Amino acid sequence: MDLINKFSNAFWSTHVWLPPNTTWADIAPGSRPDVVHANYKDLIWPIPLAAVVMLVRYTLERFWISPIGKSLGIRSSRPKKAANVPILEAAYAKSSRLDNKRLAPLSKQTELTERQIERWWRLRRAQDKPSTLVKFCENTWRCVYYLYSFIFGVIVLWDKPWFWDVKSCWYGYPHQSVSNDIWWYYMISMSFYWSLTGTQFFDVKRKDFWQMFIHHMVTLLLMSLSWVCNLHRVGSLVLVVHDCADIFLEAAKLTKYANYQKLCDAIFAIFTVVWIVTRLGFYPRIIYSSSVEAPRILPMFPAYYIFNSLLLMLLVLHVIWTYMILKIVVDSLQKGLMSGDIRSSDSEDLTDSSENTKVANGGTGRSKNKVNPTPAGSGGGGGAGDGGVTQRRTNNASNHNNTTTTTAAK
């Protein structure tokens, strides 16, 4: 216990986290009658509140968003199950990726052709992917939350001096009061990110899964440190700047899933402009203030550099995502279509047919089967030895563009 106390005292040293000649007692709640300081114990509240957020999400998706999606004709069905082939199932459980090195041994073990195994693998992978309705519900929930959060944030900050002049974040620091509206803005925002951190492992798996996980953790760390060190003013600015573009991001995706392509294109265009203005315009202005203006107003201390480094990490993510978004915009303009979701895996809709039955029965004619000359993606039937499989592939180039709108971070 003594070791833990020594470590805690060393870690939370006032020389690290507070300006010179300031102690934790100086910014403790009740230390000054004219200032309501932030209480570090309040950081426990976002965790139970995250459970409330998840309950609200479940209720809205189940009784409101999902019925709306179905009324719009969004598909809720999933691909039919692949034939039960224990050897292939075992191989798939080890890794969902299929390469040439695995094909030949699996073909010998199952007495199936390599083409039959590839088709079984595509069907099996499609089986694990969520339906369009599930993705629609997820994006609609996020859109609703970001819309609420941005509106609430603007209302809360409208009468705050630092909303109009970033330098006000530093005046009077660290003795800056936390009002009730700022308290709720912080706690609800943190509870949302805690809920995302948990549900991310159950939601639709995206290509940037670990990028987003790191993003959520950095965001929570940034908010927690800003609260402990009484830097809630600049923290609230970072929050409101980030929520704005995400509204249009999620709206573009859900309109795509609802097959409103023109509306999706228009919203995505708005999103691109708002993203660049807020993430590469307003946000760097905040970093400029914390990096250049703050040292002119405040005596520097180590925690300042920690805080500023985390802000810069988020900026690096924004630059990466901006590059991806602009790449999608260029590709879309060249092809005349903005399609989908950069974080989603490429999906292939496969219809079950006699091929599935053949795989289940062990297959026939391994190397002598004729390959259907119809190009992949045309939906043509297979040769005589292929069992008349019907397959429909989505255009890979379109799927690449599809990649858009999601990777925008929070």
Q: In this predicted model, what pLDDT tens digit does every residue of 76-125 receive, in sequence order?
A: 766 667 777 788 888 777 777 777 777 878 887 887 887 888 888 888 77
pLDDT on residue 49: 95
Q: Which amino acid is at 319?
A: V
pLDDT band at 142 (very low <50, low <70, confident <90, very high): very high
Q: Which of 134, 193, 174, 132 is nearest to 19 (CA)?
A: 174
Which has the closest alpha carbon to 113: 363, 333, 308?
A: 363
**Residue range 269-327, pLDDT digits in tens:** 999 999 999 999 999 999 999 999 999 998 888 888 888 888 888 899 899 989 999 99
pTM over 0.85: no
pLDDT at residue 250 tops 50? yes
| Residue 386 predicted with pLDDT over 90 | no
Is residue 298 situated within a structural domain?
yes
| Mean pLDDT, residues 174-187 taken together | 94
Length of the chain: 410
Contact between 142 and 246 (Cβ < 8 Å): yes
Within-domain flag for 310: yes
- Give me the domain span that covers residue 293: 41-71+131-342
Which residues are paired to 350 by β-bridges? 391
The total of structural domains in the chain comes to: 1
Residue 404 lies inside a defined structural domain of this protein? no
In a domain, 375, yes or no: no
SS3 category, 381: strand
368, part of any domain: no
User: Backbone dihedral region of 103: left (phi > 0), alpha (psi from -120 to 50 degrees) or beta?
Assistant: alpha
Please state the rounded mean pLDDT for residues 131-151.
Answer: 92
* Residue 110 belongs to some domain of the structure: no
Query: How many CB atoms are closer than 10 A to CB 8?
Result: 10
Task: Report which listed range, 123-132, 228-237, 363-372, is most confident.
Answer: 228-237
Q: 379 lies in a domain?
A: no
Separation of alpha carbons 197 and 200, rounded Å: 6
The alpha carbon of residue 54 and the mean position of all alpha carbons in its chain are separated, in whole angstroms, by 16
Task: State how far the Cα of 409 lies from the Cα of 90, in Å rounded to an integer.
Answer: 36
Instruction: State residue 109's pLDDT score.
Output: 81
Mean pLDDT of the chain: 79
Exposed, middle or buried: residue 136 (CB in 10 Å: 0-12, 13-18, 19+)?
buried
**DSSP character for 391?**
B
For residue 4, being part of any structural domain is answered with: no
